[in-house]
Structure 1
Amino acid sequence: MRKLIPVILALIGLAAGGGAGYFLRPPPEEASHDEADACVDVQHAAEVAHDVVEGEPTTEFVKLNNQFVVPVVREGRVSALVIMSLSLEVKLGMTEKVYRSEPKVRDALLQVLFDHANSGGFDGNFTGSTNMERLRVALLEVSQNILGDSILSILVSDIVRQDV
């Protein structure tokens, strides 16, 4: 009997808590739109969905195959490694041109990343918005020098810094 009392008390507590939760639940929310507003909302949603289906994409994204590994050198020694993955936003149909020119593009992008590292760009808060925007602009300029205006933007998909 001594072992049965705690079980009975637990069941009573569980039932009381469930009953209190059921009776104290908030009332159901009423619809805040009248029928005219709901009709307009449905029509607007249909128009937006129609535009997305009909709208042809004008850009595509090209992920560069390998990551970029950039050493951060301080006092003649490698103090950290920055590893980045980059993608290019290009005009539709330019993916093949980017892949054909990838070695030259990678070389130019690496040079910009090395210059950024040597100027202290990967020190401290290296992912701050101002610092990253400056890096993206430099990467975009060098990419456009090689591939022309078909490059629209640079996307940094991954970035990590490992102190050595």
Structure 2
Amino acid sequence: MLGKLLPILLSLVALIGGAVGGELLRGAPPPPAAVAAPDQAAPAELAAPDLGPQAEPPPATTPREAAPVSAAQPEPQDASAPAAWFKFPQQFFVPVLHGGRLDSTMILALSVEMPETATEEVYAHEIKLRDALLRQLLIHANTGGFDGNFTTEAHLKKLRGDLTATAQAIVPRVREVLIGDIARQER
């Protein structure tokens, strides 16, 4: 009897495991601010002229339907706009070489600060941002930025400034790149 049930149970466990694994790989949905921003639609509705009872309201657009913001015409940054943060899901691993040999590896956890209205744009450019930030971290490592006491405020301020400028070249509305964790793993 067990010999007949075992293949069925194994198939059921594999099916459930595959479904759970698929959900884990899909990742977390974007934060609610990126999916729906009902307060953004309110000013447009208030500004619409009253055309009487026959007029239909304009169709609402979702953030995904809205036209993308181009680098040539960035929206003006509003310093008073509520802030949002995007934390890169994986850490950045940066090799530090001396004399052509791997000396150590820097491990960094980075986040991006932006206006709440730029959340969708940052999520859409996550891969480009990660590539550009990693490229800047490699430049920093190759120019000796991670040698000696790399945790002094002067060193970290320069690194944050370089990373922020790099991120703003991809998404101009990024306010700052924040360093959540930084560690050096010696070889």
TM-score by length of 2: 0.56
Structure whose residues are more often strand by fraction? 1
Q: Which amino acid aligns with 1:98?
A: V
Residue identity in the other structure for 1:87 = S
CA contact (8 A) 2:81 2:115 kept: no
Give the corresponding residue for 1:135: 159
Which residue is 1:95 aligned to? 119
- The answer as to 2:181 corresponding to 1:163 is no
What SS class does the counterpart of residue 123 from structure 1 fall into?
coil
In 2, Cα distance between the equivalents of 1:147 and 1:57? 17
Which of these residues, 154, 158, 174, is aligned with residue 151 of structure 1? 174
Gaps of 5+ in 1: 1-55
Tell me by how many angstroms 1:93 deviates: 2.2
Letter in structure 2 aligned against 1:68: F
Query: Any conservation in 1 of the 2:106–2:182 contact (CA below 8 Å)?
Result: yes
Question: Runs (4+) of structure 1 moved beyond 2 Å?
Answer: none
What TM-score results when the alignment is normalised by the length of structure 1?
A: 0.64
Give the distance between the partners of 2:157 and 2:170, measured in 1 at CA: 20
Residue 81 in structure 1 maps to residue 81 in structure 2: no
Q: Give 3-state SS (helix, strand or coil) of 1:93's partner.
A: helix
SS of structure 2 residue aligned to 1:94: helix
Cα distance in 1 between the residues matched to 2:133 and 2:151: 18
Asked whether 1:58 is paired with 2:82, we answer yes
Distance 2:177 2:133 in 1: 11
> How many Å apart are 1:57 and its aligned residue?
6.3
Asked whether 1:110 is paired with 2:134, we answer yes
Please tell me whether the aligned partners of residues 107 and 183 of structure 2 are also in contact (alpha carbons under 8 angstroms): yes
Identity, % of aligned pairs?
42
Query: How many pairs are equivalent?
Result: 108
Deviations 1:104-156 (CA, angstroms, capped at 9, x unpaired):
111110111000000111011011100000011100001001101x1111110
**Structure 2: which 5+ runs fail to align?**
1-79
